[in-house]
Structure 1
Amino acid sequence: MFKILVADPIADEGIEILKKQKDTEVDVKLKLAPEEIIAIIGDYDALVVRSETKATTPILEAAKKLKVIGRAGVGVDNVDVSFASKKGIIVMNTPDGNTISTAEHTIAMMMSLSRNIPAADASMKQKKWDRKKFTGVELYGKTLGIIGLGRVGREVALRAKSFHMDIMAFDPYLTEEMALKAGYKKATVDEVVTTADYITVHTPLTKETKGIIGEKEIAKMKEGVRLINCARGGIIDEKALTAGLKSGKIAGAAIDVYEKEPPVEYIYSDLSNVVLTPHLGASTEEAQVSVAIAIANQVLEALRGGTVRNAVNAPAVPAEILTLMKPYILLGETLGRTLVQLIDGPIKKVEIEYTGQVCDFNTSYLTLSIVRGVLTPITKEPVNFVNAPHIIKEKNILVNESKSNLIKEYTSFIKVAITTDKGRNSIGGTVFGKNNIRISRLFGYDIDLEPATYMLIIINKDVPGMVGKIGTLLGKENINIASLQMARKITGGDATTILTLDNQIEDKIMLELAKMDNIRAVKFVKNDIA
């Protein structure tokens, strides 16, 4: 009998699914204080939450039997995923449940903005009749620029076409063929901001997308452009947006998400040309029913040893296989995650070569670990061994795998190469002993690197004094070097300097390093694989 604790409100349809099973005992206990959860969690096999309950380390430490945490929603910020992983607790979410709701909310915001509906409603409720003041604009024939063409972006495009809007879209993984088939134009960010009448963003919030629409982009836009953000706060720079709205360059904006939620300063509150909602993208009855049903079924399947769907921290492999393959799974993910942070440009192809005894394993699991590593830094949603193949397909990235049982330099060796529109780069590694993973080759250089959480990779000219200059700058910024190694092919040519660090490096330090004489490239890698 599986005991399941539902600690946050979810739709009755989901609870009913859990309760009607013959092998479950379900308790719905809402608004529990942390100490109350700690007192009872030891009796449960599964915990179902939304966003109110925080599955913190103290709670998980007390969870002696817990096998699954199910989040009825997308984010898992309220779950200590790292500690859950260490305890072998599967953490799963429902990433597809709010796609339609968010897309519809985007269209609703665009319509409200175009027809001044919120302001007209407020005026009528003040018993004022002023039709001329609230004259709007049509969507028909206008150009909608979409930045980010994932699940939500595609659904927005589909609905916008029904208004006979012309669609242009930017996504690093969108091909001309895909765009042509869908009936819209493939564009760059610059083309979107200079051409579109309406611009909506649907990307994850990453280092690359933060402020993707800022002061420079707004300056290039048409007079009277309208902007919509129902994705993540910070993708559109709030200060730049406010300035554009006040100047009249931007006719209006519809905003559902904010850099800080709830906002500390309500910077848009005095602007009449803004439509605001408090992060309601996923707040529909249907979305809540959808995620409740999905998480109920997922939790039951995982408890019974079936397929683990939408897990953010666990591969869908049998435990006995996982034990044997664990160091190679970790190596594969580390190779993928490291290399993708060292390259530029959208990924076209991932090539994986297995050599030696590692070929005796079912390498499809290892390939999934590498794909997960490649995707994690560039993808909004959590990537796991279940959804990785679907995400890689959506991004139109080709994955090739080859094997050779011939033992060469190492008993087992994994090589990963990534091709982008900027070129092809590779990384390789092995496992020493039972579980000591090593990066043994990078960009064609032979190295012996034990991966670290923070790594700085520098391509520089092989001249005297480089190590001293780099070390001096890092020391001045209180960045401690844990290890350092260099590799070169010929004297006086290019060399690779690899440092493992105790701290994360700020952007300004990266810029200072890049400006140094004889430095060709500087990249920072963060590996926080649980």
Structure 2
Amino acid sequence: MVKVLILDNLEKAGVDVFTREGIQIDVMGTIDATNLTKIANNYDGIILRGATTITKEILQQTTRLKIIGRAGSGTDNIDKITATRKGIVVMNTPGGNTITTGEHAIALIMALARKIPQASASMKEGKWEKKKFLGTELTGKTLGIVGMGQIGKVVAERALGLKMVVISYDPYVPPEVISKLGVEHVTLDELYNRSDFITYHTPLTPETRGIINAQSITKMKKEVYLINCARGALINESDVLNALESGHIKGLALDVFPIEPPSSNNTLLKYPNVILTPHLGASTIEAQKKVAILIAEQICDFLKEGMIRNSVNFPSISAELIPLLRPYLKLCEKLGSFQGQLLDSPLKEIRVEYLGDASKLATPPLTISVLKGVLQHQTEDVNLVNARVVAEERGIKVTETKGLKAENFTSMIRVACFSERGESSVSGIVFGSALKIVQINRFPIEADLLGGLLMLHNQDVPGVIGSIGKFLGNIGINIAGIQLGRKELGGTAICLINVDSPVEEDILSKIAKLPNITSAKYLTFQC
């Protein structure tokens, strides 16, 4: 008989779904890895929230487990790589916490403006300090929203209802989509310059990590209010502390932290103009009930009918096709990731071309893999199930074309992206067990889509490769492979260098300044 283990005090509404569907369950609280390892193989499915961690060791001991469901969006507490290798589907409930998190951001904005927590604490100490807690009105103030995904849109709608002027920055959402909400689309620098309040609703990516830093703060208004309900690592804490000390930041509200829970001696605790909440963005009765019901229904549909919804690690395709499609699914996601890491303007169209034998494959899941690869650099909630919906919400046109000829190959897939800056394309092949790039913007070039890849544009003149090799060697970065591509002698060339360690932004800027190098970009391929 099918059996499911429910952990982390899932809301009763979710438990009741299994009872109605006649699926046997065991309900427990949070459980440690040692005990979970002992019992995991007794179940076909496991549901958890954020407290329990499912590790590689747990998954390696189970042969019965088919599905893991996360009541919420974050799946960092599940070893998805091992789950995928074991054929275990991992599901989540993206969007289930959207309204709750957006409302929490609005609550923090209000709390900052009127100093509500500080005034309440003062009253509880028996004081009556009206003058000390002089606040500011929100009406007419400018709110800058960094990140206009689902949560950003919720914040915008409610802020407009408060008669705030709302402006936003999101390089991946077309301006016309944002303007339909009554929000002005601006550059990040303009947002910093104009905003009285700034709230962040972006995923954590290499580009957004530490985005709130000394450099960005200097561009902000004096006495700005900052709110972060997204990811703790968006903040450079020491830079923010300096800005609080100088008064450049008048008020700060955080619901998330780089390390959770933060240390009890964290310096932020001493500032009276800082409001901290213990990651409450998703903590409402309604949200907890909603995600509990959603994940329970998804698990039941999978166990009873084989239906896969909101999977973060598995495509919605039949078991018979998986062995054939698996390498092409990986290739498509990596080609999409290649494009997603290069994008710096709103995307209008993604075109996937299946050439040669690739045109005979079941292409819909492959196209979805491309979309996931592109969009995962813009939002954390995209997966193989919702990637097309996310693209539609962002106003991105998605097209497929098929051709019988693949130029110099029997089978090739090309991903072309169209943005305000024009068209860019990358083509790839499956070669045995390897996944390879074979063209970039029609430049013939071959490189493995593996690990870290340094991409350079340079003038095709003698000495360029020697200078970059010497530079990387001097700073201890080992070259695993190097490939060159050009269309004509002495023109523009592309250089792809597989490297064994990450290349940070400061190193990239130095590389770009080397003689005859016009641009440098570091890409990673973990999918």
Please give the TM-score of this superposition, normalised by the length of structure 1. Answer: 0.94
Secondary structure of 1:490 counterpart:
coil
1:121-520 equivalent positions in 2, closer than 5 A: 121-264=120-263, 265-381=265-381, 383-406=382-405, 408-432=407-431, 435-520=433-518
Secondary structure of 2:143 counterpart:
strand
Q: Which amino acid aligns with 2:357?
A: Q
Partner of 1:62: 61
Q: Is the 8 A contact 2:172 2:345 kept in 1?
A: no
Q: Which amino acid aligns with 2:290?
A: S
Secondary structure of 1:415 counterpart:
strand
Q: Pick closer, same or farther for the CA change 1:114–1:331 going to 2, 3 Å.
A: same
Q: Is the 8 A contact 1:174 1:186 kept in 2?
A: no
Secondary structure of 2:232 counterpart:
coil
Q: CA deviation at 1:477?
A: 2.8
Determine the C-alpha separation between the residues in 1 that align with 2:367 and 2:179. Answer: 31
C-alpha root-mean-square deviation of aligned residues, in Å?
Answer: 1.9
Q: CA deviation at 1:427?
A: 0.9
Q: Which amino acid aligns with 2:444?
A: D
CA deviations 1:194-237 (Å, max 9, x no partner) are: 11221111111222222333323333333332221111123243
Q: Which amino acid aligns with 1:124?
A: M
Q: Is the 8 A contact 2:4 2:24 kept in 1?
A: yes
Q: Pick closer, same or farther for the CA change 1:519–1:205 going to 2, 3 Å.
A: same
Q: CA deviation at 1:261?
A: 2.0
Q: Is the 8 A contact 1:14 1:296 kept in 2?
A: yes
1:109-120 equivalent positions in 2, closer than 5 A: 109-120=108-119
Determine the C-alpha separation between the residues in 1 that align with 2:358 and 2:36. Answer: 44
Gaps of 5+ in 1: none
Q: Which amino acid aligns with 1:213?
A: I
Partner of 1:4: 4
Higher mean alpha-carbon deviation, 128-137 vs 41-50, is at 128-137
Q: Which amino acid aligns with 1:455?
A: L
Q: Which amino acid aligns with 1:241?
A: V
Q: Pick closer, same or farther for the CA change 1:522–1:305 going to 2, 3 Å.
A: farther
Q: Pick closer, same or farther for the CA change 1:178–1:511 going to 2, 3 Å.
A: closer
Determine the C-alpha separation between the residues in 2 that align with 1:168 and 1:447. Answer: 42
Partner of 1:528: 526
Secondary structure of 2:270 counterpart:
coil
Q: CA deviation at 1:406?
A: 4.2
Q: Is the 8 A contact 1:368 1:388 kept in 2?
A: yes
CA deviations 1:339-369 (Å, max 9, x no partner) are: 3323433322212212222222232222111
Secondary structure of 1:212 counterpart:
coil
Q: CA deviation at 1:372?
A: 1.3
Q: CA deviation at 1:159?
A: 1.2
Q: Is the 8 A contact 1:43 1:64 kept in 2?
A: no
Q: CA deviation at 1:35?
A: 2.1
Q: CA deviation at 1:13?
A: 0.9
Q: Is the 8 A contact 1:314 1:385 kept in 2?
A: yes
Secondary structure of 1:173 counterpart:
coil
Q: Is the 8 A contact 1:439 1:450 kept in 2?
A: yes
Determine the C-alpha separation between the residues in 2 that align with 1:464 and 1:177. Answer: 46
Determine the C-alpha separation between the residues in 1 that align with 2:344 and 2:199. Answer: 25
Q: Pick closer, same or farther for the CA change 1:215–1:263 going to 2, 3 Å.
A: same
Determine the C-alpha separation between the residues in 1 that align with 2:289 and 2:154. Answer: 19
Higher mean alpha-carbon deviation, 461-470 vs 272-281, is at 461-470
Q: Is the 8 A contact 1:101 1:283 kept in 2?
A: yes
Q: CA deviation at 1:90?
A: 0.6
Q: Is the 8 A contact 1:10 1:292 kept in 2?
A: yes
Q: Which amino acid aligns with 1:283?
A: S
Q: Which amino acid aligns with 1:316?
A: S
Q: Which amino acid aligns with 1:21?
A: E
Q: Is the 8 A contact 1:102 1:230 kept in 2?
A: yes
Q: Pick closer, same or farther for the CA change 1:361–1:136 going to 2, 3 Å.
A: same
Q: Pick closer, same or farther for the CA change 1:432–1:272 going to 2, 3 Å.
A: closer
Q: Is the 8 A contact 1:173 1:396 kept in 2?
A: no
CA deviations 1:291-339 (Å, max 9, x no partner) are: 1111111111122344311111011111112222222222211211123
Q: Which amino acid aligns with 2:453?
A: M
Determine the C-alpha separation between the residues in 1 that align with 2:162 and 2:341. Answer: 40
CA deviations 1:426-455 (Å, max 9, x no partner) are: 11122345x543322123221233321222
Q: Which amino acid aligns with 1:318?
A: S
Determine the C-alpha separation between the residues in 2 that align with 1:130 and 1:450. Answer: 66
Q: Is the 8 A contact 1:256 1:278 kept in 2?
A: yes
Matched residues, percent identical? 43
Q: Is the 8 A contact 1:55 1:79 kept in 2?
A: yes
Secondary structure of 2:418 counterpart:
strand
1:91-102 equivalent positions in 2, closer than 5 A: 91-102=90-101
Determine the C-alpha separation between the residues in 2 that align with 1:192 and 1:407. Answer: 46
Determine the C-alpha separation between the residues in 2 that align with 1:501 and 1:343. Answer: 22
Secondary structure of 1:179 counterpart:
helix
Determine the C-alpha separation between the residues in 2 that align with 1:343 and 1:103. Answer: 27
Q: Is the 8 A contact 2:106 2:155 kept in 1?
A: yes
Q: Pick closer, same or farther for the CA change 1:386–1:432 going to 2, 3 Å.
A: same
Determine the C-alpha separation between the residues in 1 that align with 2:47 and 2:72. Answer: 11
CA deviations 1:161-220 (Å, max 9, x no partner) are: 221112111111333432332112111112211112211111112222223333233333
Determine the C-alpha separation between the residues in 1 that align with 2:455 and 2:129. Answer: 63
